[in-house]
Amino acid sequence: MIPIRDTAPCYSKPYVTWGIMVVCTGIFIAMKSMPDQLAISLLHRYGMVPARYSGFYAGLPFDGYLSFVSNLFLHANWTHLLVNMWFMWIFADNVEDRMGRFPFLIFYLLCGVLATILQWYFDPILNIPVIGASGAIAGVLAAYFFLYPMERVIVFLPPLVIQVPAIAFLGLWVLLQLHNAITSIVFEGVRIDEAWWAHLGGFVAGAVLYRVFLKDKKNEVF
């Protein structure tokens, strides 16, 4: 199912959401314009390489855990970027609307950092960079899940365009992440090209924390 849009009204301009999208896209385009070797070097420096913090990788200096934040603004390819920014475009504006701009920014970054920590915990010897906004966006999806469970998400399910409740669409998304995360642990030798535990970690973080950042806690749904 490919989400097209949602039906939840938004009553303010989501400037932080737009700003994050511009920064992620700008960094990606800038890195695409660099020589490959320089881009790869920057991905390893500012992406979160789990082995770097677990004593298994000596190729990079300790950075004070900066990459637990900086990795959230890096993406591997156009598909990676566009999928993340599309989910951001559909779901983040309403969450920012309910939280306010600065609290939303803190919420977004905190979910991303906690998601990255969980990925590090479950894959501590990985020696390639974990990058992408997915963990932070998963936190946004969790907030949307609880704030707008019965709003409709318009999805393309070839050959149909249908409406499904947000609770069903996002619930299915969570189950898919859980399936893939468990598969990555249970079955050795399975090729892992996404940070499934970061997705789950971000969602759990968002589910736990979203209430703290709401402007009006009286209007919570769950």
Per the CB < 8 A criterion, the answer to whether 152 and 167 are in contact is no
pLDDT, greater one: 194 or 214: 214
Q: Who has greater pLDDT, 148 or 60?
A: 148
Identify the residue with better confidence: 86 or 61.
86
pLDDT (tens digit, 9 = 90+) per residue, 90-134?
Answer: 999 999 999 999 999 999 999 999 999 999 998 888 888 999 999
Instruction: Give me the mean pLDDT over the 11-17 stretch.
Output: 97
pTM exceeds 0.85 for this model: yes
Q: CA 159 from chain center: how many Å?
A: 28
Nearby residues of 135 by Cβ (< 8 Å), 6 or more positions away: 72, 111, 112, 114, 115, 116, 119, 195, 198, 199, 201, 202
Query: What confidence tens digit (pLDDT) does each residue in 187-196 have?
Result: 555 445 667 8
Residue 34 has pLDDT above 90, yes or no: yes
Average pLDDT of the residues in 205-212: 97
Average pLDDT, the chain: 91
pLDDT, tens only, 133-182: 999 999 999 999 999 999 999 999 999 999 999 999 999 999 988 888 77
Say if residues 114 and 108 touch (Cβ distance below 8 Å): no
* CA dist 3 → 22, 62, 143, 187 (Å): 21, 40, 17, 30
Residue 86 has pLDDT above 90, yes or no: yes
CB 129 within 8 A of CB 40: no
In the chain, the domains with their CATH numbers are: 9-150+199-219 (1.20.1540.10)
